[in-house]
Amino acid sequence: MKRANAAGVLAFAALATSVLGCSLGETFRGDRVNPERPLWYGRPSGAMQVFIHRPLTVPGRATGEEYERGRPEIDPAGTRVFVGSSDRGLYALRAGDGTTLWRFETIGMVQSEPLYDAELDVVYFGSNDGALYCVKAATGELLYRYDTGAEVSKKPVLGGETLYFANAADYLFAADRRTGKPRWQTHRTPALGMEIAGHAGPVRDASLGLVYMAFSDGHVVAFDEKTGAEKWAPVDLSAEAEQTAGEAPRYLDVDTTPVLDAHATGRVVYVSSYAGGIFALDARTGSRIWTSEKALGVTDLLLYKEAAHRPNPNGPDRGGPEVPERKVLVASSAQSGLMGLDPFTGRILWRNKLPEGGVTAPVPVAGALMVGTTRYGLFLLSPRNGRVIDGIDLGTGFGQTPGAYGGRAYVTTNAGTLLGVEISPPLPLARR
């Protein structure tokens, strides 16, 4: 295992240093879930310590492309981690040491992000065999299987007694979360032409009673969460891209799961068109608020929130006024790199260009951002300026998005090795 060199932009060259030591400590550290002050504030250095390193994928049973995708789901109260694999299995693991509690096998690869339902103690997850599964979290016993007819790779969404989920054929489903009985479904006909692999997932706004979904034909739609009726006219982001570029885009896809936010003027939905950039839409009407045309090829969005806090008493701004709340819209793109945008204007605040290959969705952990790269390793970055704090490279790359809670993260390498990584904050600076 190598530590990854992180000078300047994401260089991703590995340093020949020793394996990090293991430090279990408590399984999760709740004080790091939403730290009052980012651990890296004024101190861009730290350590990623590996405490789990074990083969996960069953040898000889992995199928398909040479990547592990999806994202682990964490049950902090039960200290369990649920993660899918290209060997067609969903695993339940002990969060402390990564040992297997049970494995549930499907017909296809499990390259999805599961959803843990703490009230029912069940796990919902999708498979490339075209089904959504519900199993008991304690035993892996199957409760129901919902056949959708196409790959299910995005995380389902819960709303009361209803489970919302999508598939790669541009269907959005609503089902009873306990029985899997259908409530409603809606579909858009995929556009003719070339498409990017993957699909978007739904997001629900409980305050408005709406479910938002993006489709491969370039449209974004808001649906009534109870009936599935369209609540505003579908927004055609491909037409917006054509107007900006002056020609029809090669790829129409809007495969990025929408992200919700609240501005002083009301609710906002962020969504990305592969060819047209990132859009901020009014959540009630779908009208455009702003567009960032330079953010092309985006496949994942994250709204990072930093709470208002006092300056670090040991940092360069000690004694200064309270730092107001900060938000950064972080976008992942193999074409444009990793970017931080002002969510109120769409202005690009920082950008890290990437070498060959792609980058996973960014994940907040311990006041920082963690991302994987398909060829160069796992990195911890500052959300304030995008600078790299630390990195680990096993030589196989990461296509799976890390799952994180508190100061710990879990991720599977493209070679099928599970890593548990603990984020250790920097030591306090001595007062002068």
pLDDT at 314 over 80: no
Instruction: Give residue 361's pLDDT.
Output: 92
Q: What's the confidence (pLDDT) of residue 409? A: 97
Q: CB of 340 within 8 A of CB of 352?
A: no
Name which of 1-10, 288-297, 364-373 the model is least confident about. Answer: 1-10
Q: Tell me, what's the pLDDT at 378?
A: 92
Averaged pLDDT of the chain = 83
**128-170: pLDDT as tens digits:** 999 999 999 999 999 999 999 999 999 999 999 999 999 999 9
Instruction: Give, for 242, the enclosing helix (H) or strand (E).
Output: helix 237-245
342: number of Cβ within 10 Å = 14
With the CA atoms of 357, 362, 366 and 367 taken in that order, what torsion angle do they form, in degrees rounded to the nearest 10?
110
Displacement of CA 258 from its chain's centroid (Å): 11
By mean pLDDT, which of 39-53, 75-89, 361-375 is the weakest? 39-53
pLDDT tens-digit readout, 199-228: 899 999 999 999 999 998 889 999 999 999
pLDDT of residue 33: 45
Per-residue model confidence as pLDDT tens digits over 226-260: 999 999 989 988 666 555 555 555 556 677 899 99
Say yes or no to pLDDT of 10 above 60.
no
Kindly report each contact of residues 351-354 with a partner whose C-beta sits within 8 Å and lies 24 or more positions away, as own/partner: 351/386, 352/9, 352/10, 352/381, 352/386, 352/388, 353/9, 353/10, 354/10
Q: Give the SS3 label for residue 32.
A: helix
Distance, in Å, from the CA atom of 340 to the CA atom of 350, rounded to the nearest integer, reads 5
Given pLDDT bands bounded at 50, 70 and 90, which one contains residue 375?
confident
Q: List 339's β-bridge partners, or say none.
A: 331, 351
pLDDT tens digits for range 93-136: 999 999 999 999 999 999 999 999 999 999 999 999 999 999 99
The pLDDT, as a whole number, for residue 177 is 98
Residue 429, pLDDT score: 46
Domains annotated on the chain, with CATH:
1-69+324-425 (2.40.128.630)
Look at 245-249, 374-378, 386-390 and tell me which has the smallest mean pLDDT. Answer: 245-249
- Looking at residue 199, its pLDDT comes to 85
Please classify residue 169 by burial: count the beta carbons closer than 10 Å to its beta carbon, then call 0-12 exposed, 13-18 middle and 19+ buried.
middle
Band of pLDDT at residue 31, cut at 50, 70 and 90: very low
